[in-house]
Amino acid sequence: MRFDVITLFPELFIPFLETGVTRRAYESGQVDVRFWNPRDYADGNYRRVDDRPFGGGPGMVMMAEPLAACLKAIRLDRQQDREVSPLIFFSPIGERLSHPLVERHSNSAGAILLCGRYEGVDQRFIDTYVDGQISLGDFVLSGGEIAAMALLDAVARLQPGVLNDEGSHQLDSFNPALDGLLDCPHFTRPELWEGLPVPEVLLSGHHARIERWRRDQSLALTANLRPELLNAARSENKITADDEVVLKREN
């Protein structure tokens, strides 16, 4: 799988790619990430990539032409058309990044990711070339790079062999293959920290009781914080009669 990132600040990605459990995926090329700077495709001595907005107003806008030339170079290099490697633009107006969206990308051949800066990108470029838009949430970032990293990170950790423990992402929140519920709380050493003990059941060594406790915690958390996830799990028959008893008791 290959991601081509169009960014004015490729250096922002270097520590991200070299750190943490997902590093292996990037280093081995399992998730192949390449960078393209639109400045390298801009004309003139100043290699200008932005200009003032027509109609006036504050800020600058990323120009269509350097982006189009950059995209052309990527398509030539990838030898794939937009059906195989769509151009995704990170934008506050895009589809909210979610587990289903991450899964879709993690089962794909990759994509071309466009990180905007300044006031954004000339709309004519977006209308002509962009295939999808993704938002990190209802707030405004200074650029799309953090959103691109969020997508890359979430996709990389779903790739086989990337996490130390293969099963660990299976148990994470939002996993539809399991039940789509929120994960349970986690505890580690020491057993007593600032007068706060670890739940006794987790020290019991009793596997079935521990599993039941984790399930109950996950159900209660989801019912309290994200009831719509619980209803979705119900509609897929992933909530058992025992689970319903627990939920009734918690209510």
Window of 7-15, 75-83, 118-126, 155-163 that interacts with ligand SAM by CB under 6 A: 118-126
Which two structure tokens, joined as six digits, stand for 70? 């950059």
Q: Tokens 């020290």 label which residue?
A: 203
Find the Cα–Cα–Cα–Cα dihedral 211, 215, 218, 224, rounded to 10°: -140
Q: Cβ neighbours of residue 184 under 8 Å, at least 6 residues apart?
A: 213, 214, 215, 217, 218, 221
Helix, strand, coil % over all residues of the chain, rounded to 5: 40, 15, 45
Find the Cα–Cα–Cα–Cα dihedral 159, 162, 167, 171, rounded to 10°: -70
For ligand SAM, give the closer residue by CB, 5 or 147: 147
For ligand SAM, give the closer residue by CB, 36 or 90: 90
Chosen residue from 119, 153, 172, 183 binding ligand SAM by CB under 6 A: 119
Contacts by residues 10-17 (CB-CB < 8 Å, ≥ 24 positions apart): 10/35, 10/37, 12/145, 13/145, 13/148, 13/149, 16/149, 16/152, 16/153
User: Pattern 8-47, binding to ligand SAM, x per CB under 6 A?
Assistant: ----------------------------------------
CB of 130 to ligand SAM, least distance (A): 11
Using Cβ positions, the residue closest to ligand SAM within the complex turns out to be 116
CB of 15 to ligand SAM, least distance (A): 20
Is 91 near ligand SAM (CB under 6 A)?
Answer: yes
Marked catalytic residue, from 92, 212, 215, 234: 92
* Closest to 143 in 3D by CA, of 48, 13, 56, 31: 13
For ligand SAM, give the closer residue by CB, 130 or 246: 130
CB of 120 to ligand SAM, least distance (A): 4
- Answer yes or no: 157 catalytic: yes
- Answer yes or no: 176 catalytic: no
Q: How far apart (Å, rounded) are the C-alpha atoms in residues 175 and 169?
A: 8
For ligand SAM, give the closer residue by CB, 88 or 223: 88
Is 116 near ligand SAM (CB under 6 A)?
Answer: yes
Chosen residue from 3, 13, 26, 90 binding ligand SAM by CB under 6 A: 90
User: Pattern 133-152, binding to ligand SAM, x per CB under 6 A?
Assistant: --xxx-xxxxxx--x-----
Q: How far apart (Å, rounded) are the C-alpha atoms in residues 140 and 90?
A: 11
Q: How far apart (Å, rounded) are the C-alpha atoms in residues 113 and 133?
A: 10
Q: How far apart (Å, rounded) are the C-alpha atoms in residues 163 and 149?
A: 17
- For ligand SAM, the binding residues (CB under 6 A) are 90-92, 115-117, 119-121, 135-137, 139-144, 147
**Which residues are known catalytic residues?**
92, 119, 157, 172
